[in-house]
């Protein structure tokens, strides 16, 4: 039996214009109301997949590794490591996680691998018993970043992952990976960042996909909506349409990492081919169907 539980991590406030790319504020503020600094609320949600004899965590959010100065710059709201609290609510610690699947290595998706910031202390790698899985193309990008996204990576995390001996790199566009086993399928997206790996989990009522930053929240299911952070927006829209077409045909659902209010939802399509999210849930706990 396989169950799914969404876990809250640390939250952020980021500029709404950056998060909605070339969409005008008059449009995107219908979906997310900005504060006086034009920032919108964002979550950093992870997904716990519990199978026979193992706990698999998809992403770790931004965590609490930033110094107070950097925490303020990037709008991180909490000082403690919220994901660890969310695991504790499930009766788990980071030591109980067997596999961590990372869609990509930007700090707001992988920073939770690190312990909380302490003055004068180096960052420590959490999840001591876990195997770490990410895309080979993303690993190459993280270690040789472009000037445009250099600040999105954590150099000390890359060193810790390389040295731990538990890092597994999946060749881009592979549909499966032996360590994950049956009931798992991999989708790929290169429009936001090279080699973003999007895991799909088979469930009795239809597949569930964790789309990372291809579809970071419910408003982004609208095909033209992209982020200012995306490297190739037109390519990303084509990737998004292909994924949504596939999931709609198979009664699929999405788990949103950055949506502060919507954890999981099904895909709907109207007569004009426009996508939306239905059957919205603010959280999922031990979902088995």
**74-99 pLDDT per residue, tens:** 999 999 999 999 999 999 999 999 99
> What integer is the mean pLDDT of 148-160?
97
The predicted pLDDT at position 228 comes to 97
Reading the block at residue 170, the tokens are 């999946």
- Per-residue pLDDT tens over the stretch 189-200: 999 999 999 999
Residue 142: φ, ψ to 5°: -65, -35
> What integer is the mean pLDDT of 104-124?
96
The predicted pLDDT at position 173 comes to 96
Task: Give the pLDDT band of residue 60 (cuts 50, 70, 90).
Answer: very high
C-alpha separations of 35 from 15, 41, 82, 158 in Å: 9, 9, 23, 34
The predicted pLDDT at position 256 comes to 98
The predicted pLDDT at position 229 comes to 96
The predicted pLDDT at position 71 comes to 94
Percent of the chain with pLDDT over 90: 100
- Per-residue pLDDT tens over the stretch 169-223: 999 999 999 999 999 999 999 999 999 999 999 999 999 999 999 999 999 999 9
The predicted pLDDT at position 76 comes to 96
The predicted pLDDT at position 269 comes to 96
- Per-residue pLDDT tens over the stretch 14-26: 999 999 999 999 9
The predicted pLDDT at position 230 comes to 97
- Secondary structure (DSSP) of 101-165: E-S---HHHHGGGBPPP-TT----B--TT-EEEEEHHHHHHHHS--TTTGGGS-HHHHHHHHHHS
Q: What is the mean pLDDT of the chain?
A: 97
> What integer is the mean pLDDT of 111-123?
95
Whether 135 and 188 have beta carbons less than 8 Å apart is answered as yes
The predicted pLDDT at position 241 comes to 98
Whether 72 and 122 have beta carbons less than 8 Å apart is answered as no
The pTM of this model reads: 0.97
Beta partners for 101? 58, 133
Handedness of CA 161, 163, 168, 172 (dihedral sign): positive
b/e map 147-181, b = 16+ CB within 10 Å: eebeebbbeebbebbeeeebbebbebeeeebeebe
> What integer is the mean pLDDT of 133-142?
98
């Amino acid at each position: 039996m396989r169950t799914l539980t969404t876990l809250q991590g640390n939250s952020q406030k980021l500029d709404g214009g950056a998060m909605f790319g070339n969409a005008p504020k008059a449009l995107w503020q219908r979906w997310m109301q900005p504060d006086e600094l034009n920032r919108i609320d964002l979550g950093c949600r992870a997904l716990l997949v519990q199978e026979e004899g193992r706990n698999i965590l998809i992403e770790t959010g931004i965590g609490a590794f930033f110094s107070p100065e950097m925490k303020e710059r990037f709008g991180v709201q909490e000082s403690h490591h919220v994901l660890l609290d969310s695991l504790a609510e499930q009766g788990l610690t980071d030591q109980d996680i067997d596999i961590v699947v990372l869609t990509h290595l930007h700090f707001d998706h992988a920073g939770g691998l690190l312990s909380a910031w302490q003055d004068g202390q180096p960052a420590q790698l959490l999840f001591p018993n876990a195997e770490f899985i990410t895309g080979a193309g993303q690993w190459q990008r993280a270690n040789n970043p472009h000037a445009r996204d250099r600040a999105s990576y954590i150099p000390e995390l890359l060193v810790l992952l390389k040295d731990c001996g538990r890092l597994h790199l999946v060749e881009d566009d592979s549909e499966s990976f032996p360590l994950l086993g049956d009931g798992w399928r991999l989708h790929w997206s290169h429009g936001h960042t090279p080699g973003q790996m999007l895991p799909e989990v088979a469930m009795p009522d239809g597949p569930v996909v964790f789309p990372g930053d291809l579809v970071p929240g419910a408003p982004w299911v609208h095909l033209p909506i992209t982020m200012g952070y995306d490297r190739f927006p037109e390519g990303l829209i084509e990737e998004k349409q292909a994924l949504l077409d596939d999931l709609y045909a198979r009664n699929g659902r999405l788990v949103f990492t950055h949506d502060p209010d919507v954890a999981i939802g099904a895909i709907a399509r109207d007569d004009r081919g426009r996508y939306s999210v239905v059957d919205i849930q603010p959280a999922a706990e031990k979902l088995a169907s």
